[in-house]
Amino acid sequence: MDGIDAYLERLASADPTPGGGSAATLVGAFGAALCAMVARITRAGARYAAVHGEADAIVAAADALRARFVAARAVDEEAYARVVAASALAKSTDDEKLLRTGLIQEALAGAAEAPLAAAAMAAEGAALARRTEALGNTHLVSDVECALAFFRAALESSAANVRINHRFMRDAERVRAQDERLGAILIAARSA
């Protein structure tokens, strides 16, 4: 079984990780890969000589973004695994309960931070898809549309994962700060 098939098997399993946050990063990576493909094909066409420089820049940006999404997948999985591990700690005594609660709260903050970073990358990806669209390769319009749809899905999925963690976090200031960052990301993505 190759990498993507193995990942999908893990995603479909009864294990809590990988989950939606991890899957969102993979969707974002697909969007970045499509932008790179469109730019590479456009770069190879003499008909698009006027945009070869921009196509090269898009390839570089898309490849870098794809790598960041791939790295973010592991970060998301590790962050949520810490929530699961903290939740499994003993809670028989007051000291155990206190320790467990503190570790869960810290883990939840990290589990919200990971998809928050992925949301920012998805917003960046949406802007990159618009740049890719502006290359004007009429044969690859649907690929660009798919890339934009993938970035939007990654953004909305990441936002949902931030918000679900916020529901369980007790540090109102931390929730407010993360929520403000998420709001700014969403506004920026809408303007892309």
- Tell me the per-residue pLDDT of 76-107, one tens digit each, with 9 for 90 and over: 999 999 999 999 999 999 999 999 999 999 99
User: What does the alpha-carbon distance between residue 47 and residue 28 come to, in Å, rounded to a whole number?
Assistant: 29
| Contact between 48 and 135 (Cβ < 8 Å) | yes
What's the pTM value of the predicted model, to 2 decimals? 0.94
Residue type, 189: A
Q: Give 37-79 pLDDT, tens digit per residue.
A: 999 999 999 999 999 999 999 999 999 999 999 999 999 999 9
> What structural domains does the chain harbor?
3-190 (1.20.120.680)
Indicate the DSSP class of residue 50: G
Match 């990806």 to its residue by tokens: 125
- Packing angle between helix 94-133 and helix 141-166, nearest 10 degrees? 160
